[in-house]
Structures are given as C-alpha cells and as structure tokens.
Amino acid sequence: MFMVFLADDAVQSYTIDAVNQFLAHRQNLNGCTPKMTHFTSLNFTNYTLVTDWYVAGNEIVDHIMMHVGNPLQDEIDSNLIALNALASILLKSIIGFCTPFLNYSINTFELLATVGFTYYSSAATTIPVMDPGTDMFWPYTFNNRMAKYCLDIADSCKGQPVLPGTHLMDLWLNVVNRATKINDTAMLDYMKAMFTLIGLYTHPIHLSTTYPGVNPSNSTINMINRFLDWAQVQQDVWIVSNKQLLTWVQNSVPTSQLDSVAALNCSTPQFNTLQMICNGIPTNENSLLSHCVFSDFPFYTCYGCPETEPMVGNPNPAQQVPHGQQMCFRLPTNCSTLFWDPIDRKCLCIASDCAFGDNSQSISVNSANLTGSRMGGSTDASTRPANVYVPFNGQGFALPIGV
Ligand SMILES: [Zn+2]
C-alpha cells in the first residue's frame, strides 16, 4: 500500500529539517529515500530551498502565495509565477493544488480548471471514516461531480462541478480519535488501527527542532517516527508523494512490479561537484546564491533578486542586477531545473541518457521481505543530534539559522 507524506506552508531550513527527521533515514522497497509533497505558500519562504527540495525529488504544489482561503485567480497564478521565476520550478511539474485552511468554493475549482492542474487536495470528509455513512471516497475524479462535503459548500455535489480528468487527492480524513487532550501513546495505537486509510500530513514548523525559540514535543516526534518504523515493516508499504501515487493510479501495476514505475525510482544527477552552476544542488550553487534582503521576509535565490518583494499581482518583479553582473535568465519550458544555466542561458542536457544515474534497486516477489527500512540513528528525538538540512548526503552548506 501507499502512504503519502504531506506538509504545507513556507519552506525554510527548519521546515525541511522537520520533514527530514521523519524521512531522511528511511528507504522504500527499492532502496530510495521516500519523497513527499509540499503544499508551498510563499510568504516567509526561502526560494532556494524550494529549488533544492524539488531537485531532490520532492513534489512542490501550489498552496497560494500569501496563504488565504477561497483564493482568487491572481493568488493562484502568482504563486505559480513566483515559484517558476525565483525557484526555477517547471510549471508543468506543478500538477496539484491545495487551498489554505481547506477553504474553497465551487468557484475555486472552476478557477483551478482554467489553470490546468491535474489534482486538487482541498476537501475533508465530514463524517469520520470509521462511522457508518462516511463520505470518505478517495481518490476519484470530477468527471461527474463532487461527492463529499456536500452540505457545507454551496452548489457542491448535485451534479457539480464537472471537470473531466481532474483528480481529487484528498487525505483530509476526519479521523480524530475523540481524545480531549494530546496523548501520543493513544494516537500511535489509533494510527496503527487506521493504517489502511492513512496518510501523514504535517505542519512542519510545529515539529522542527531547529526553529529558534520553539520547543516541539519530543514525545510527538518520537511517536511519529515509531509509527513510521512500524509502518515500514508491514508488507508492501511505500511512503510516497501525491504525485507518485497519482502516477500509479493512472497506470497501476501489481506491487511486485513497482520497481518498473519510474516515478518511484531515485537517481543521482551526473554533476561534477566542483562545477559552479545554479541547479538546486548546494555543492554546485552555493557561491552563486543571491541574498534578497527584504524587511518582511528575506530569502536566497540562485535566479536573481527581484527589485521589490514578490507580491500577488506582481509575483515576478524586475530583477535587481548587481553592478558588474548580468541578469539571470529564466528557466525555459524545454529544460529541467537541474540542467538550466541561468547565467550562460543554456541547457546543459537535453538528452535523457546524459542526465541521471539510476540508484534504484529492483524488487521481487521472491525477496525475503517486501518491506522498507530505516538506517541507523536513534528514533528517540532527545538522544538524536539536531537534524540540520544537508541535501545529497551531507555535502551541502547551511544557511544562517532562521533563514
Ligand atoms: Zn497551509
């Protein structure tokens, strides 16, 4: 079975640390570190880390530039434009959308359809999944209509909306265990009991051990890791992003053949670590980053600082080109983030065979165990060193704390 791992809001070093403390030491059945989906809003986001996280294989999804519910077209589009311009995310790779606070209307879905997203992830169930008559239907398409949350959203259901080919990828299941206060032991038992239905959604800032001034609950961090430890030794369990899951939904194969699904595989980009280029790999780009010093939220980017803060309605302001330097050229639609040189304005690789070395291992129904694994380290957060984000096996660089 697949278990999706999701997180939302701004991307910062400490939010990536929070996710990594759950995923970085794990392997799926094919030997690849699990990937996840990040619903990305842009206020307080450090753009260069979005690039890095994306190039490392994770999914970036539109979560509205300034994190408002029931968004208008400008909010939806501005997020995409800024992600493309300042984090160099290919627009065609952003196939999903999640509205902040799960606050949507039928108009939201119709606006989204004009953009061409493949899936939306914005609707919760209204009836707990273990209760009779639950409206937990998942996944399904809008080929006919919406089929849940019908009484709360005007004009929803009753044949609406019809948006052929669009998938609903909602894991916002009403699975509360009805406890009145936090009880990690009870929650762990509950998550195990709910396992056939579960995905993990995290709000990483609340679980980060590296965010200054915040002391997350070690008990909760440990409970989540223990749950993942337990889940990974169940048979045929893969931790995946929404996009990986949707790829399988659209072209499903038996579990014994999942190593043939390219979206689940992992690879190492063929780059000389001494080569200086903006490509989402810290060892290659660390001397090329620009620090964009805005009072509200400073950030780094490898694609040129804008003259003003990116805003709704002006998500890609003119570039602020330092004296003696040249402007950065934006990612074209026919090159990948990894191989686009924004300074020399050229694509370093256009053939698929020059791009990656495949690290995936084959799996077989005859293997002793069709389970994932974890590698080294302690599950206990209190005995583990702070997990500072260093992508690509520790060869990265660290941004200043809090950036
Ligand atoms: Zn959010």
pLDDT of residue 82: 96
CA 170 / ligand 1 centre spacing (Å): 14
Is the four-CA dihedral 119, 123, 126, 129 of positive or negative sign? positive
CA 38 / ligand 1 centre spacing (Å): 10
CA 102 / ligand 1 centre spacing (Å): 8
CA 61 / ligand 1 centre spacing (Å): 11
CA 79 / ligand 1 centre spacing (Å): 13
Q: Copy the structure tokens of residue 262.
A: 């390219």
Ion ligand 1: residue ranges with CB closer than 5 A = 8-9, 100
pLDDT of residue 361: 59
* CB within 8 Å of 197: residues ≥ 6 apart: 129, 136, 173, 175
User: Under DSSP, is residue 82 helix (H, G, I), strand (E, B) or coil?
Assistant: helix
CA 98 / ligand 1 centre spacing (Å): 8
pLDDT of residue 131: 74
> Furthest-apart CA pair in the chain: how many Å?
68
CA 337 / ligand 1 centre spacing (Å): 25
Check residue 42 and give left, alpha or beta (phi > 0: left; psi -120 to 50: alpha). Answer: alpha
CA 67 / ligand 1 centre spacing (Å): 6
What letters, b where the CB count within 10 A reaches 16 and e where it falls short, cover 308-342? ebbbbeebebebeeeeeeeebbbbeeebbbbbbbb
Give the chain's domains with CATH numbers.
2-254+264-268+366-386 (3.20.20.370)
Positions in the chain short of pLDDT 70: 128-129, 138-139, 170-180, 197, 350-403
Helix (H) or strand (E) holding 119: strand 119-120
CA 258 / ligand 1 centre spacing (Å): 31
CA 5 / ligand 1 centre spacing (Å): 15
CA 89 / ligand 1 centre spacing (Å): 20
CA 40 / ligand 1 centre spacing (Å): 8
User: Do 219 and 184 contact (CB within 8 A), yes or no?
Assistant: yes
CA 70 / ligand 1 centre spacing (Å): 12
CA 157 to chain centre: 29
CA 369 / ligand 1 centre spacing (Å): 37
pLDDT of residue 210: 86
Instruction: Give the DSSP per-residue string, 357-387.
Output: EE-PPP--TTSS----EE-SS-S-GGGSPP-
CA 287 / ligand 1 centre spacing (Å): 32
CA 100 / ligand 1 centre spacing (Å): 5
CA 246 / ligand 1 centre spacing (Å): 21
CA 205 / ligand 1 centre spacing (Å): 11
pLDDT of residue 380: 54
pLDDT of residue 255: 84
CA 9 / ligand 1 centre spacing (Å): 5
CA 63 / ligand 1 centre spacing (Å): 7
CA 31 / ligand 1 centre spacing (Å): 31
User: Do 19 and 36 contact (CB within 8 A), yes or no?
Assistant: yes
pLDDT of residue 163: 82
User: Under DSSP, is residue 345 helix (H, G, I), strand (E, B) or coil?
Assistant: coil
